[in-house]
Chains A and B, each alone.
Chain A
Amino acid sequence: MCDRSPDVLAAVASATLSGAVGRPVSVEVHVSNGLPGFTIVGLPDAAVREARDRVRAAILSSGLPWPMRRITANLAPSGVRKGGAGLDLPIAIGLLVAAGELSPDCTEGLAFCGELGLNGSLRHVPGMIALADASSPLGMVVPLCDVREAALVRGDDVHGAATLGDLTRILRGQSGWPEVPAQSVVPRVPSAPDLSDVRGQAVGRRALEVAAAGRHHLLMIGPPGSGKTMLAERLAGLLPPLPPADALTVTRIHSAAGCALPDGALLDRPPFRAPHHQASVVSLVGGGSWSLRPGEVSLASHGVLFLDELGEFPVAALEALRQPLEERVIRVSRAGGTVTFPAAFLLVAAMNPCPCGEGVYEGACTCTPASRARYRRRISAPLLDRFDLVVPLSRPDPDELLAGTPGEPSAAVAARVAAARARATARVAPGPASRPELASDAEALLATKLRSGDLSARGLHKVSRVARTVADLADEDMVSFAHVSEALFLRAGRAAVVA
């Protein structure tokens, strides 16, 4: 028996993504005598299994030796599924340690995450914030392009390297950690469209303002060409910038879903998500077989979820929205486990009044009563109840479109929205007694509507809330007759969808 070299074992810390949460993983590499080969065990997914070929090519391209011995990499804990290519780097580092290229001491106190290119470069890994969380309190080594993102939660504990070769030299102490480039290669998020592009549409603009100020879910009902989509796209621009905690939540979710992040890595503007109406239930609420991914409701959390052509969405997808609308989180349960994603979104939907779209204009609709009834049945009463604002829109006046006077810019409306929100917060803050102060004629108006059956008990509650928001926007303590009238009008579109 010729025992040329003893068995070696190396262990390197890393993390993997499960939903939007990271889990620590310990990568153990064992190099022993035997037939040359490389196996990865410990519930790897396809991307991790393919790491074998990426790691080998990356090590060879970096001018490092590949041990012609029997190599086994184990990902512990072995009962947890590991996904993604982020484990390439810890496997490679473990291998280099086991092969004697790196000393075990230099990986001490560090966790590694990164995908390897065949040329030895280190590549972006989605969900870096969650991975950084899971790596705490170890220092972290990530691809250079991910340093900003990981630093959002770990600050100075994060180091980056551009290639496996560079990293080896740094770990050997032959050079220092490189500077993080001032500009990352990730493209900038385009600025949101401005409300000044919208001509006329007094009702639509007002509905956006009230929705933004009071976080009221909004359903716009109007014929094709009445500007529903154009208005909805401008809602995110009216919302105040996200406070740091919310910004981190939003960034974490986007990062986990593999969305492009802006330069500074932090998403501090409310997101705007507009899934197409063919979206599946899973794509809306999140899921997947075992690598649970956040859905559109979570990506839109703390921002706007816009559902254009609401009537065309699969009924199952719409009904799945009811729970997150109520609880502001979504729990995705699979055989492999349950994940809770945030889902505190502002829902804005648009639909035609009927299949032909002309139903708002009396006598212009060419649908049969049966097809209209079928179309309306798609929006269930419980879902419709979630909308505080159901606003009928009409096509803009041609003269107004051509006149060319730009509308009020988003910034001016956003300022009013911010002031109204501040008012609402200040009012709620002090004590428990915060019944809206109603003017006597406003109360009489509500009583009339309640008695005539125009308003249900639930409707009364919603109208009161919206009226309160309208009063906040007007910077008034008392909810007046005009405020209640407007709140009543802002749900008048229900008549077009109910019955």
Chain B
Amino acid sequence: MSLPEEAYAVALASVPSIGPATLRGLLGSDPPSVAWARTRGASGGSVHDVARIWAQHTELGISVLMPGQASWPARLADDPQAPAVLFCLGDPSVLRRAPTVALVGTRAPTRYGIGVAAQLGADLSGAGVSVVSGLALGIDGAAHEGACGAGAPPIGVVAGGLDDPYPRRHARLWERVAEHGAVVSESSAGVGTEKWRFPARNRLLAALSDVVVVVESRHHGGSRHTVDAAVERGIPVGAVPGSIRSATSEGPNALLADGAFPVCSAGDILVALSLEGATVPVPASTLTQPRQPRPHPTSGTDLRVHAALSPDPTSLDDLARVTGLDVSALCGALERLARAGLAVGIGGWWERV
């Protein structure tokens, strides 16, 4: 039976007791087949197991990348903590293209964060920038939702094996990212999604990006790992400013205080990229476009209610207090404003559009 060298690397990566660092050590000195033969005692596997694991990966359409190969991403060539082997669904050549920008953040964002992430994802992708993100719930997902099909191929960097989409809710998004670009992981198919794999994933995510942007994150959120990895590698870090009252903007606001560059539009990121040597046209961002003239509220009540609204969600109690209207009149006015596209209500809170 003749198996490619990659098959032995995959088999080694599938051994639970061999982590990324051990694997790097093993494969640093010997070719995979030799390393596998040497650790056979530890892994307890036979050539049949190697063949079985290899068949599993090829059946799933997972390509395996190793350092030194032409397909190996240039960014990882002299990375201090480069993975020893990479698994990829989709087109692996996407990993070698530039520029790439990581959009990361909390799994429990506000609608502001979701909107900004999706807009940045779409704008960057439209400008030819590959959006890198973790395919997690919240900001990560929103960024890729925006980026998928908007232009440049997206890159998803995930923690677990590529056979098992995590979180399950993003299985469809996961497929779309693989379709338009690539989903990569340093975990082989069949391994569990243990906790330690997430910080490791964040390190890989930063290493594959030219710029890291934090959209929304809590003070001690997981985005901190991505930012730390980016800083270690000299990768510029941007942050989207947010309300000082919002817990989900604590992270980016603190980063801004620490010297991260402010991101108010995709243009700001493109400027940071071109300073790094990339050359892309800077498009007029839709984020900060001047507002088109809108229909005006007509009746006096509607005017009063419209004036009392703000871009932040306001409770009906506050609106009732400010306008002095009763709940019935207030609800009527708000529905009229909503129909005119001047207000939006979600979960009983209202904000001006």
Q: A362-B110, A493-B347, A495-B348 are in contact. Are A485 and B317 (CB under 8 A)?
A: no
B327 adjacent to A206 (CB under 8 Å): yes
Set of chain A residues within 8 Å of B327, measured between Cβ atoms: 202-203, 206, 486, 489
Compute how far the CA of A396 lies from the CA of B318 in the bound complex, rounded to whole angstroms.
8
A311 an interface residue at 8 Å Cβ cutoff?
no
Q: A481-B335, A486-B328 are in contact. Are A203 and B112 (CB under 8 A)?
A: no
* Cβ-closest chain B residue relative to A367: B108
B335 partner, pick from A201, A204, A391, A445, beta carbons under 8 A: A445
Set of chain A residues within 8 Å of B346, measured between Cβ atoms: 495
A496 adjacent to B347 (CB under 8 Å): yes
A230 an interface residue at 8 Å Cβ cutoff?
no
Compute how far the CA of A480 lies from the CA of B333 in the bound complex, rounded to whole angstroms.
12
A397 partner, pick from B110, B321, B328, B335, beta carbons under 8 A: B321
Q: A485-B334, A495-B348 are in contact. Are A369 and B137 (CB under 8 A)?
A: yes
* Cβ-closest chain B residue relative to A204: B317
A360 to chain B, nearest CB (A): 7
B292 an interface residue at 8 Å Cβ cutoff?
no
Report how many A-B pairs have Cβ atoms within 8 Å.
110
Q: A200-B321, A486-B332 are in contact. Are A363 and B110 (CB under 8 A)?
A: yes
* Cβ-closest chain B residue relative to A497: B347
Compute how far the CA of A421 lies from the CA of B218 in the bound complex, rounded to whole angstroms.
50
Compute how far the CA of A485 lies from the CA of B327 in the bound complex, rounded to whole angstroms.
10
* Cβ-closest chain A residue relative to B314: A394
Chain B residues 228-245 with CB under 8 Å of chain A are 242-243, 245
B328 adjacent to A203 (CB under 8 Å): no
Compute how far the CA of A448 lies from the CA of B110 in the bound complex, rounded to whole angstroms.
26
A368 an interface residue at 8 Å Cβ cutoff?
yes
B345 an interface residue at 8 Å Cβ cutoff?
yes
B318 adjacent to A480 (CB under 8 Å): no
Set of chain A residues within 8 Å of B197, measured between Cβ atoms: none
Q: A200-B321, A364-B247 are in contact. Are A482 and B108 (CB under 8 A)?
A: no
A392 adjacent to B347 (CB under 8 Å): yes
A230 to chain B, nearest CB (A): 14
A69 to chain B, nearest CB (A): 77
B108 adjacent to A485 (CB under 8 Å): no
> B327-349 interface mask toward A, CB cutoff 8 Å, 1 = contact, 0 = none?
11101101110010000011111
Q: Nearest 3 pairs between A and B by C-beta?
A: A482-B332, A392-B348, A363-B246
5 new A-B contacts, CB < 8 A, other than A202-B317, A206-B328, are A200-B317, A363-B246, A363-B249, A369-B138, A496-B347
CB within 8 Å of A: which residues of B?
107-113, 137-138, 216, 218, 242-243, 245-249, 313, 315-318, 320-321, 326-329, 331-332, 334-336, 339, 345-349
16 contacts between A and B (CB under 8 A): A201-B317, A203-B315, A204-B317, A206-B327, A360-B349, A363-B216, A363-B245, A363-B248, A367-B108, A393-B317, A445-B335, A470-B328, A483-B332, A485-B331, A486-B327, A489-B331
